[in-house]
Structure 1
Amino acid sequence: MGRITLLHTEASNGWGGQEIRILREMMGMRERNHRVLLVTTPWTAIHERATSCGIPTFSLPMGAPHFIQAVVRLVVIIRRHRVSLVNTHSSRDSWIGAIAGKLTGVKVLRSRHISSKLNTSPLTKALYRHLCHGIVTTGQFIRNQIVEELGVKPDRVFSVPTGIDVERFRGGNPRDVRRELGIPEEHAVVGIASVLRSWKGHLELLESFRGVVDTRPAVTLVIVGEGPRRRVIERKTAQLGLQGNVILTGHRDDMERIIQLFDIAVLSSYASEGIPQFVLQAMAAGKAVVGTRVGGIPEAIEDGVTGLLVPPRDPAAIRDAIVFLLDHTDKRHLMGQAGYERALAEHTTSLMLDRMESVYYALGVQ
């Protein structure tokens, strides 16, 4: 397709899978000769990172007191930069972007990244049905939510799973990271990487891990990420007597190194998941994954093939899955290889960008 100007909006001040995908999309589309712009609230992680990548970025207060001003300023940006499509990502910026799009005659694409409970009020239905020209979701589960709960026509809702740089997560020497973190050579390593939020299920994972350590003490749980639940997780670790078997690394920008250390990857979420980037990264690295049957996780993990699926908030089931994979090295390796092949076939950055360009084409964006 011809060169278009894409304006992304993001009101979130966090840095997680959603923001990482937005930045990856923008950089990928720029490499395909499209022009990309970003509007965010002030002083956010994505603003800083996008600016450092050379993406033109605008700060716009989006709270309720600034709503009208935000719409007016966004209209100015859209007209001044001859924007072809506004792609919104969170609730506040979606309202601002949708109204600005209506006022300027520019099409609006709403991206929905998570599978949390939808607001089904008449206003929300109006936003999705009438103010947005299309909806992109990160998985089929979320697409079904939009169609069934908000009544959006199916031909206007597109599932475009997140893509990753698969080869980035291949190879590497885990010994360096093992030494850095002080993990004994004889220990197997179970790992999780996510923002430390309640619904990521870290507390349930810790309860399950207590049972793992009781029968297989030579194992370490590595928790990668930062967030508001860190203190709670630290207290739970101490209450369970797991200080010698659990390491919290904080945020890491070198996931391709950290993930090589893991023998088993785990994602214990009990809500709000699309297709998580950590699951795809682990698959790309050839790791068997234990995941919960939540949101889009089962779309990435094929039970018994690329990993094991367990019910959410079930520490005993998580424990049993981890123990099974620790005890069955051959099956673990076969699942890891199958995960790599699936990531390569279905979840590359290139494929994600192809699918997004197809959405633009379907919306008639020029």
Structure 2
Amino acid sequence: MISILHTEASLGFGGQEIRIIQESLGMIKRGHRVVIAAPPRSVIFRKAEESGINVFPAHFQKRNPISALRMRLLINRERFDIVNTHSSSDSWVAGIAARLSRVKPKIIRTRHLSTPISKSYLSRLIYEILPHAVITTGEEIRQRMINDNGFDGSKIFSIPTGVDLERFNPAKTKPAFQSQDVFSIGMIGVLRSWKGHKFLIEAMPEILKQIPQAVSYIVGDGPQYENIKNLIYRLSLRDNVFMLGHREDIPEIMASLNVIVQTSYANEGIPQSILQAMAMERPVVACRAGSIGEVIIDGVTGFLIEPKNPLKLAEKIVELYRNPELRIKFGREGRRLVEENYPMEKMLDKMESLYRWLLGEKKVDFWL
């Protein structure tokens, strides 16, 4: 049994936090012990408790040595083998605490986003000196860290988030709503500026010229909620664009959609919503950002376009509307790619192999 501590300073809840929960549950199912340390008022703290995962209340203050001392006490008391950190503040606090602890756990820094990393000594400290290994959620992020920052590639591992293929199974999923008389377009994810929701909304007038019965559904919550809502009103699209808020029935919503879009222009690894859409055999139109191009192969598993281009987005959506056979082809090829490369069990196998390698139990060869 491996004893694992995940730390997460973020108060919000998106793909990063969902992955922590999913991996934790998977590792517990495999017989390992998992604890998540997070702020008590964070969403992941509540979600972990609801999922039956052990949670430790923590406040990650980089400039407060008491935070590191408390974390060191936790690590010493619980005798963790692995400390996996996920955001900046908790990486500093937990990384230093783990290095100063008696039990000397192996430290992993998981890098979820493709945001450029500064070339300062502090960045080298947090990504290369403190951790024993770094995980990225896409190969593109790994290559940037090696080529742009000069980090040691031998300790950086790309392990994209896996998909629960049984849950995201189009043959077993009943649509959340009927869409026989409309052409349904959807975008699913946290409402952040760099997710680019505005470009889907700005594409809608052009889409409606070609597809009068088109509707768009924006699924998710976040800091851009009011801005997106105001843009919908400003463009007089209240009857064509609907904000559904945070939803848990994502497979059922995806089953209701004809096309799923991902308009991010920065920061992405491989978005879970794209892999989930592909698993549900939905055609995807996505922008070149982060590691998205690793799964959306233009003309094979979907359309890949340049970011911030509403007209091109509209053009590709209209093309899919006019070509149902292409929608089916993209869906089938997407499902096949996810089944081969991104099932949840494969992600868990890779994580478990890395943990065991760090602990000296086995050779790590999953990237070969």
- TM-score, normalised with respect to structure 1: 0.95
1:127 is matched with 126
CA distance in 2 between partners of 1:17 and 1:244 (Å): 29
2:3 is matched with 5
Alignment of 1:329-348 (within 5 A): 329-348=324-343
The answer to whether 1:103 aligns with 2:100 is: yes
* Deviations 1:119-171, CA, capped at 9 Å, x for gaps: 22111112212111000000001111221233221110000011010121223
CA distance in 1 between partners of 2:149 and 2:74 (Å): 30
Give the residue type in structure 2 aligned to 1:88: T
Check whether the contact 1:120–1:150 (CA below 8 A) recurs between aligned residues. yes
1:93 is matched with 90
Check whether the contact 1:270–1:294 (CA below 8 A) recurs between aligned residues. yes
* Deviations 1:15-50, CA, capped at 9 Å, x for gaps: 100000000010000011010011112211110011
Give the residue type in structure 1 aligned to 2:246: H
Alignment of 1:16-95 (within 5 A): 16-64=14-62, 67-95=64-92
Check whether the contact 1:85–1:365 (CA below 8 A) recurs between aligned residues. no
Pairwise CA RMSD: 1.2
The answer to whether 1:246 aligns with 2:241 is: yes
The answer to whether 1:137 aligns with 2:132 is: no
Give the residue type in structure 2 aligned to 1:71: A
Give the residue type in structure 2 aligned to 1:177: F
Check whether the contact 2:282–2:331 (CA below 8 A) recurs between aligned residues. yes
Give the residue type in structure 2 aligned to 1:146: M
CA distance in 1 between partners of 2:270 and 2:14 (Å): 13
Q: Structure 2 unaligned runs (5+)? A: 362-368
1:365 is displaced (CA, Å) by 5.3
The answer to whether 1:219 aligns with 2:214 is: yes
Paired residue total: 357
1:172 is matched with 173
1:294 is displaced (CA, Å) by 0.4
2:366 is matched with none
Of 130-139 and 233-242, the range deviating more from structure 2: 233-242
* Deviations 1:72-128, CA, capped at 9 Å, x for gaps: 111111111110010000000001111011112221000000111212211111221
- SS of 1:191's equivalent? strand
Q: Structure 1 unaligned runs (5+)? A: none
1:303 is matched with 298
2:352 is matched with 357
Check whether the contact 2:62–2:93 (CA below 8 A) recurs between aligned residues. no
Check whether the contact 1:167–1:284 (CA below 8 A) recurs between aligned residues. no
CA distance in 2 between partners of 1:354 and 1:296 (Å): 21
Pick closer, same or farther for the CA change 1:34–1:159 going to 2, 3 Å. same
CA distance in 1 between partners of 2:62 and 2:162 (Å): 34
2:155 is matched with 156
CA distance in 2 between partners of 1:148 and 1:173 (Å): 45
Give the residue type in structure 2 aligned to 1:162: T
CA distance in 1 between partners of 2:277 and 2:328 (Å): 12
- SS of 1:304's equivalent? coil
Identity %: 39
CA distance in 2 between partners of 1:169 and 1:328 (Å): 24
Structure 1 moving runs of 4+ over 6 Å: none
1:64 is displaced (CA, Å) by 4.4
CA distance in 2 between partners of 1:281 and 1:75 (Å): 38
Give the residue type in structure 2 aligned to 1:79: N
CA distance in 2 between partners of 1:54 and 1:42 (Å): 15
- TM-score, normalised with respect to structure 2: 0.95
2:12 is matched with 14
CA distance in 2 between partners of 1:293 and 1:348 (Å): 23
